[in-house]
């Protein structure tokens, strides 16, 4: 897990800003390389720099953005809605109210999901107790 073990320097320090290969970015973000490429293709990640030979170089800004995407994805937001959010994020500060609205609506959905899970977890516990009582 030590990045110095990589034959190819995964973390590349140029003049001012650290950049990461797609492999390192995958490791740090929790997405696979394929998913990162896929997200770039469909417009969820933008402005990924390339080396003269075409390799991607991700930045800390990308990692931060990816942590947002990961949160949204893992809480069940559809890609299409993430895309809407990404578009707004690219369009500047005047879209902040709409971004807030999206996040709040999504938070409500997450709350509902958690409530549903909690209820079903209880049902599960009841089943387990029942089985134990007849075992």
Partner DNA sequence: GTAGGACCTGGAGTGGACTCCAGCGCAAAC
Partner DNA sequence: GTTTGCGCTGGAGTCCACTCCAGGTCCTAC
Q: Which of residues 102-131 bind a second copy (CB under 8 A)?
A: 103-104, 106-107, 110-111, 113-114, 116-118, 120-121, 123-125, 127-128, 131
- In the complex with DNA, the residue whose CB is nearer, 10 or 102, is 10
Q: Which of residues 4-23 bind a second copy (CB under 8 A)?
A: none
Q: What angle is formed at CA 75 by the lines to CA 72 and CA 76, rounded to 5 degrees? A: 90
Binds 52: which of DNA, a second copy, none (CB < 5-8 Å by kind): DNA
Cα 28 from chain centroid? 11
Q: Please, where are the H alpha helices in the chain?
A: 22-29, 33-41, 60-74, 79-90, 96-134
Token pair 């089943």 in the structure block, residue: 127
Binds 23: which of a second copy, DNA, none (CB < 5-8 Å by kind): DNA
Taking every pair of Cα atoms in the chain, the longest distance, rounded to a whole number of angstroms, is 70
Contact set with DNA (CB under 7 A): 6-10, 12, 21-24, 32-35, 37-38, 51-56, 73, 78-80
């Amino acid at each position: 897990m030590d990045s110095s073990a990589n034959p190819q320097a995964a973390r590349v320090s140029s003049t001012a800003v650290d950049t990461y290969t797609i492999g390192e970015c995958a490791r740090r973000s929790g997405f696979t390389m394929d998913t990162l490429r896929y997200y770039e293709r469909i417009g969820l990640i933008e402005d990924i720099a390339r080396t003269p030979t075409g390799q991607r170089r991700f930045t800390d800004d990308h990692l931060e953005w990816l942590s947002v995407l990961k949160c949204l994805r893992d809480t069940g937001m559809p890609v299409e809605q993430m895309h809407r959010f990404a578009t707004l994020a690219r369009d500047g500060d005047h879209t902040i109210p709409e971004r807030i609205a999206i996040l709040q609506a999504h938070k409500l959905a997450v709350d509902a999901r958690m409530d549903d899970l909690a209820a079903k977890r209880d049902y599960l516990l009841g089943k387990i107790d029942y089985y134990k009582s007849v075992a």
